[in-house]
Amino acid sequence: MKELTTDIYTGDTHTAADRAPAVEKSVIVGLEDVTKVYGIGDLEVRALNGVSLTVTQGEYCSIMGASGSGKSTAMNIIGCLDRPTTGRYYLDGVDVAQMPEAELAGIRNLKLGFVFQQFHLLSQLTALENVMLPMVYAGIPAAERRERAVNALTRVGLESRLQNRPNQLSGGQQQRVAIARAIVNRPVLLLADEPTGALDTKTTQEVMDIFTELNDSGMTVLMVTHEPEVARQTRRIVWFRDGQVVHNNLKPEELSHATF
């Protein structure tokens, strides 16, 4: 016979099995009514106009929307590169909306990985050195730095390219180095602003396969893209228009018949 228990708060009775909580996913990104206003007076631009967005642990999410709709502005705030004018931002449970820059820099290094359209690798460093760099700032001992960088580069399929400089690598390979660099500090959130924007179709797919694999292994991924073929490979699409979220959770299969 099932043993019934009574919830001390609600008075409900239930079996132990009913009570087993659904696995609670933690909130990684919590934006609440965020605005971002650039300039003042007649020159004022409201880049974000009341954005609320929640991304939970393990999600694979893309942000789409017309040019100028506020996608990069939102990513810069989510990535702690900029602060909201008003509103709240909780990153992995920490209120970072008005945190001083020095502290924000620490949070960026500890919790976030970034991938940009233009790779942003240091041209005088090898692939291995580029990937080791964030760990220098994070204070990881030298021997461990090398081992972790090799592992990250192996994960993106570049174990045979450790000693090449960026100009000796293809665009797709450079982006893979950038992804390795972004994940090497084991961030809670991987952010990518148009990571395939500078790549051809075949290379785009190689890079997307890596993002998908990282998400499959538990990494929370949030990317901006203009390409429906890229967005369709994520699991959730957020649509921006005029500094607002007009679709919060569009399923990839709904993309072609959604109206904006």
Ligand X SMILES: Nc1ncnc2c1ncn2[C@@H]1O[C@H](COP(=O)(O)OP(=O)(O)OP(=O)(O)O)[C@@H](O)[C@H]1O
Residues that bind ligand X (CB under 6 A): 38-39, 45, 47, 65, 67-73
The answer to the question of residue 72 lying near Mg ion (CB under 5 A) is yes
The answer to the question of residue 126 lying near Mg ion (CB under 5 A) is no
> 37 with 44: CB under 8 angstroms?
yes
Query: Cβ closer to ligand X: 169 or 224?
Result: 224
Residue listed under structure tokens 């005029």: 242
Residue listed under structure tokens 């090449």: 164
Query: Cβ closer to ligand X: 70 or 172?
Result: 70
Query: Cβ closer to ligand X: 45 or 258?
Result: 45
Give the range of 48-56, 72-80, 158-166, 173-181 binding Mg ion by CB under 5 A. 72-80
- Closest-CA residue to 214 (of 239, 201, 195): 195
Give min distance, CB of 254 to ligand X, in A: 21
Return contacts of 51-56, CB within 8 angstroms, 24+ apart. 51/87, 51/240, 51/243, 51/244, 51/245, 52/245, 53/29, 53/238, 53/245, 53/248, 54/27, 54/29, 54/30, 55/27, 55/28, 55/29, 55/189, 55/220, 55/222, 56/25, 56/26, 56/27, 56/28, 56/220
Give min distance, CB of 65 to ligand X, in A: 6
Site residue total, Mg ion (CB under 5 A): 1
Q: Report the largest interatomic distance among the alpha carbons of the chain, rounded to a whole angstrom.
A: 73
Query: Cβ closer to Mg ion: 83 or 145?
Result: 83
Give min distance, CB of 76 to ligand X, in A: 8
The binder of 39, among ligand X, Mg ion, none, by C-beta within 5 to 8 A per type, is ligand X
Query: Cβ closer to ligand X: 69 or 233?
Result: 69
Token reading at 91 = 């990153």
Pairing label, strands 244-250, 236-241: antiparallel
Give min distance, CB of 72 to ligand X, in A: 3
Give min distance, CB of 68 to ligand X, in A: 4
- Residues near Mg ion (CB under 5 A) are 72
